[in-house]
Copies of this chain bind each other. A is one copy, B any other.
Amino acid sequence: MTKVVLNFKTYAESTGMAALELSRICEEAAEQYDVEMVVVPQIADIRLIAENVSIPIYAQHVDGVGFGGYTGHITAASVKAAGASGTLINHSERRLKLAEIEAALSSCKAEGLATIVCTNNIATTKAAAALKPDFVAVEPPELIGSGIPVSKADPGVVTGSVEAVKRIEPEVGVLCGAGISRGEDLKAALELGSVGVLLASGIIKAKDQKKALEDLLSGIQR
């Protein structure tokens, strides 16, 4: 099933009660379309959403540390306890050291959390795939928040990532991010070989979040 992952970032329109409201919109939309809809709120908002909504919730970040003296870090155990079932790792706005990515993946596997490692080009996609996350989401940084979909601006980075991942770890799924907001962007992303998309501002900053999300999801042939 197509995976549609909505990263809430730290926008006002997706913090606290607004995060809950947006998650409800996502939940409704997920019922209408044949899609796995995932919401990715701030860490502090995970529990609020988990208590009220039943679609999967991913954390925006997990540190590669476990139980112990790690004040201020985000552990896999804590986000799972709050209700998350997966997490982004190494988002372009929260890049990690290579060894930290690997440690975070280990922690997540131990806790049973699904993992999406974000990358910026084909080379880093290959490196990330070699670490065997569940998904890699390739997002050229210059397109993030641009409104220009990667599937149009640089389709080669998607097809190249899909091919490279197939060669290195074929069971890793490729998601396509950066600049995606409309139904045709999603459709193009799937046609390029990705199994889903990673979204953010295109939906969250839309005047009508519900309408924007529905427009996007309409790109999937039922």
Residues of A in contact with B (beta carbons under 8 Å apart) = 7, 9-12, 15-17, 42-48, 59-61, 65-75, 77-79, 81-82, 84, 88, 90-102, 105, 119-121, 123-124, 126-132, 144-145, 168, 200-201
Contacts of A132 in B (CB 8 A): 123
How long is the Cα–Cα vector from A174 to B98 in the complex, in angstroms?
18
A45 touches B123 (CB 8 A): no
Q: Is there contact, CB below 8 Å, between A65 and B10?
A: yes
Number of this chain's copies in the assembly equals: 4
Cβ–Cβ contact A69 & B81, under 8 A = no
Q: Is the CB of A88 within 8 A of B72?
A: yes
Give the chain B neighbours of A200 by CB distance below 8 A.
69, 71
| Nearest-Cβ distance from residue A169 to partner chain B, whole angstroms | 9
Residue of B15, B47, B105 near A44 (CB, 8 A) is B47
| 18 residue pairs A–B, Cβ–Cβ below 8 Å | A9-B71, A15-B78, A15-B81, A17-B81, A42-B74, A44-B44, A44-B47, A44-B78, A44-B81, A44-B82, A61-B71, A69-B144, A71-B93, A73-B94, A96-B98, A98-B101, A101-B127, A123-B130
